[in-house]
Amino acid sequence: MANPARRPLIAGNWKMNLGGRQGLDHRRRLADEIAAQADNQPQLVVLAPFTALPLLPEALAGTPVEYGAQDISAHDSGAFTGDISGPMLTGFGCRYVLAGHSERREHHGETDEVVHDKVAAALRHRLTPILCVGEPLTVRTAGQHLRHTLDQAERALTGPPVDDLTALVIAYEPVWAIGTGHVATPDDAQEVCGAIRGHLADRYGPAAAEQIRLLYGGSVKASSSAAILRQPDIDGALVGGASLDPGELAAIWRSAQPRT
Ligand code: PGA
C-alpha cells in the first residue's frame, strides 16, 4: 500500500505531436473527460511541445489539467540557439518539465551531467522536474538494471538541497518498454521503484524519500495501468503513445485511484 500522502500523478508525454491548433480538439476532449477532478483525485499533467504551450492556458482554462514541457535548457539565457530556458517555460505557465528522457539521451547525446544541470535549472525556477531513468534491454538482460538505474538517478541528483528534492518526480522508464508495446510487469516496475526509494532513503533520509513521487513509464495503457499503479512504490505513470488519445489518457487517470 503506497503512502497516501503522495498524490497519484498521471503525466501524458505528447512527444513531437499535437503541437499546434490541430491539438485543440484533443485538449477540449480531455478537459471534458476529467472535468470533475477534485482535490483528492489523481493529478493529471500534459507535457506538450513548445509550440503548444501558448495555446494551453486557454484550452485547459477552468479544468484541473496542469501542463509542462518536455525539455529545458540548463542555462537561463544567452547564446544557446534553439534552446528554451526555465524563465521562458514559467512565462507560459508551465509547472513541470521532463529531464533526461531516453529519447533526449539517445538522439541528442544528453549525458548524465547534462541531465543533472537540467534538473538543477528546473528546481532553480520552481518547475517540478520529472527525471527519467531506466535501462536498455542489454543491461536488463545482463541483470544490471538496478545498478544502472540507481547510478543514473545518483548522477542526476548530486548537489541540490534535500528540501528542493522533495519537489522532484522520478520516472522509471525502461528503454525496452518505451513505444514497444512491451510493458514491464507490475513486479518488475515495483522492484526498480522500490530500489530507487530505498536509495533515496539512504542518501537523503526516509522522510524525504517518502515524499518523492515515483512513476512508471513505458507502453502504459488503460488495460495495464491499474495493476502497475497498485504497487506500493509507484505513484503514477508517464504515458507516451496512449496519451494522444484523450479517452485513453482519461481512463488511465481514472485507474489511479485516490489513496485513503
Ligand atoms: P510510451 O512512451 O508510453 O509510448 O511507451 C513513454 C514515454 O516515452 O514517456
Find the residues whose C-beta lies inside 6 A of ligand 1: 13, 173, 178-179, 217-220, 238-242
What's residue 166's pLDDT?
A: 81
Residue 37 has pLDDT above 60, yes or no: no
Instruction: Name which residue sits closest to atom 3 of ligand 1, judged by CA.
Output: 240
Tens digit of each residue's pLDDT (9 = 90 or more) over 50-83: 999 999 888 888 888 999 999 999 999 999 999 9
* Model confidence band, residue 165 (pLDDT cutoffs 50, 70, 90): confident
Asked if 254 and 209 touch (Cβ cutoff 8 Å), the reply is no
Give the residue, 62 or 258, on which the prediction is more confident: 62
What is the 38 CA–ligand 1 centroid distance (Å)? 26
Give the residue, 39 or 54, on which the prediction is more confident: 54
Strand partners, 12: 46, 239
- Residue found under cell 527525471: 131
Mean per-residue pLDDT for 2-14? 92
What's residue 64's pLDDT?
A: 87
Instruction: Name which residue sits closest to atom 1 of ligand 1, judged by CA.
Output: 240
Mean per-residue pLDDT for 77-90? 98
- Ligand 1 mutation pick, 97, 104, 239, max ligand atoms within 8 A of CB: 239
SS3 of residue 131 by DSSP? strand
Q: How far apart are CA 63 and CA 246, in angstroms?
A: 14
What is the 42 CA–ligand 1 centroid distance (Å)? 19
Residue 38 has pLDDT above 70, yes or no: no
Q: How far apart are CA 227 and CA 242, in angstroms?
A: 17
What is the 78 CA–ligand 1 centroid distance (Å)? 32
Instruction: Name which residue sits closest to atom 6 of ligand 1, judged by CA.
Output: 240
Write down the pTM of the prediction: 0.95
What's residue 260's pLDDT?
A: 56
Asked if 70 and 62 touch (Cβ cutoff 8 Å), the reply is no
Give catalytic residues, as residue numbers: 101, 173
What's residue 24's pLDDT?
A: 79
In sequence order, the 6+-apart residues with CB closer than 8 A to the CB of 7 are: 42, 43, 213, 235, 258
SS3 of residue 130 by DSSP? strand
Give how far Cα 194 sits from Cα of 24, 85, 189, 197, 260, Å: 38, 33, 8, 5, 21
Instruction: Name which residue sits closest to atom 9 of ligand 1, judged by CA.
Output: 240
Residue 6's nearest CA partner among 228, 192, 220, 234 is 234
Which grid coordinates belong to 15? 512527444
First to last CA, the chain: 10
- Ligand 1 mutation pick, 219, 223, 248, max ligand atoms within 8 A of CB: 219
Ligand 1 atom with least separation from CA of 171: 9
Residue 191 has pLDDT above 80, yes or no: yes
* Model confidence band, residue 21 (pLDDT cutoffs 50, 70, 90): confident
E-strand spans in the chain?
9-13, 43-48, 66-69, 96-99, 128-133, 169-172, 213-217, 236-239
Tens digit of each residue's pLDDT (9 = 90 or more) over 224-251: 999 999 999 999 999 999 999 999 999 9
What's residue 162's pLDDT?
A: 67
Residue 50's nearest CA partner among 74, 28, 72, 24 is 72
* Model confidence band, residue 258 (pLDDT cutoffs 50, 70, 90): low
Length of the chain: 260
- Ligand 1 mutation pick, 96, 137, 220, max ligand atoms within 8 A of CB: 220
What's residue 1's pLDDT?
A: 53
